[in-house]
A = this chain, B = another copy of it.
């Protein structure tokens, strides 16, 4: 039963120690107890703090607590680590899990975990669990697929910590050696890094088109006809900015893919890295698309409330019924609706749990095929909106084109390039390249290549 005992040791009835009786320490202790561990809190003033501690936990002085367990969680602020120095003997050979975080990046010269290791060289420091909040520690199970990242020098130490993490219902990922600690400590401080660029683009475009349209519509009317229609800013203008930004960002989300294909075509191989800007761009396509969906959503709402606005009722209704206009108007609306429907579908399939349930081929089918179809529908929707006004000179107030014309440039380009790519001959070459073929490299042996799943 040697194995049973090792199991016994590695899983259960094992006592673990927690230094620090703050939020995180207490929540962690609670989860450990629930998972069947014996928990010993190490505290400077056991009695004052014990009142708050989860029922069933033991509270001892630091030294005694340290001796009682092999695994010790350090839920204490870095500023107070020095209290561990005198405990060096009790901590020798123990596994110290550093849960600490900082208030801002690069607050200290070295990572907290590395600092801890330097203070207690005899112990085996493992960084981990710091990416969790006290909250998600308390409600672990509901949060089952939350990853726990750990790193450290000693393999055995990391194994022990991973075992605990799994026992608590988390899935642990070993990120390597202690040098990664800094990265792990910066993680909780990050705020939507991949969303930064797309958000900047969205805000930039919105601002630009807002002022452009402000001049073309409101100010123009004021200057030329000295008519004050400034109130249009709230709805009419917003309802022009939203669709414009949405369409542009949607095309920005499919442009890099097209560029990449042309680059591969030009280079005649897929075995060369893309320029960094293209890589970065491709990595934020999802965010670009979701922001575009957001703007489309607002556009839909802004459009649907038009008839509710009371002054709409004074609009001059003398225009005669005209079949062409009816056709155009209805197709315009219909395309918009279908486009938005697909838009929403794309958004739903980019939800983590949905995309995880799809096979890779299914995911790329939706995101690429249906994605380009969405772009096509929305672009056609906009062209129909413009209709014959492209030609009438009255459209070009102060010789500037209206917003919808400007926003049609990019999507048209993307669609044209895409059209080029799916022409049989080009498509064939691309496919061969993706399967590892290299132009002018046929004497070289293309053996070591793996096709993308078709």
Residues of A within 8 A of B (CB): 3-4, 6-8, 11-13, 19-25, 34-36, 43-45, 48-49, 52, 75-77, 80, 83, 99-101, 103-104, 130-136, 140-147, 149, 155-156, 158-159, 167, 169, 171, 173-177, 187-192, 228, 230-232, 234-235, 238, 270-273, 294, 297-298, 300-311, 313-314, 317, 319, 321, 323, 325-327, 329-331, 333-334, 337-338, 340-341, 344-345, 351-354, 356-357, 359-365, 435-436, 444-445, 447-454
Contacts and interface: CB of A to CB of B under 8 A. Distances in A.
A361 B185 CA distance: 13
8 contacts: A21-B448, A35-B174, A36-B174, A52-B271, A99-B450, A189-B361, A314-B317, A353-B354
B448 A19 contact: yes
Contacts of A145: 144-145, 353, 356
A436 B22 contact: yes
A356 B143 contact: yes
Q: How many copies does the complex hold?
A: 3
Contact of A450 (B75, B136, B308): B75
A447 to B, nearest CB: 4
A444 B43 CA distance: 13
A130 B306 CA distance: 52
Given A35-B173, A310-B329, A344 B297 contact: yes
A327 B188 contact: no
Contact of A25 (B99, B325, B448): B448
A351 B350 CA distance: 12
B273 A52 contact: yes
A163 to B, nearest CB: 10
A301 B304 CA distance: 9
B49 A448 contact: yes
Contact of A304 (B104, B156, B304, B344): B304
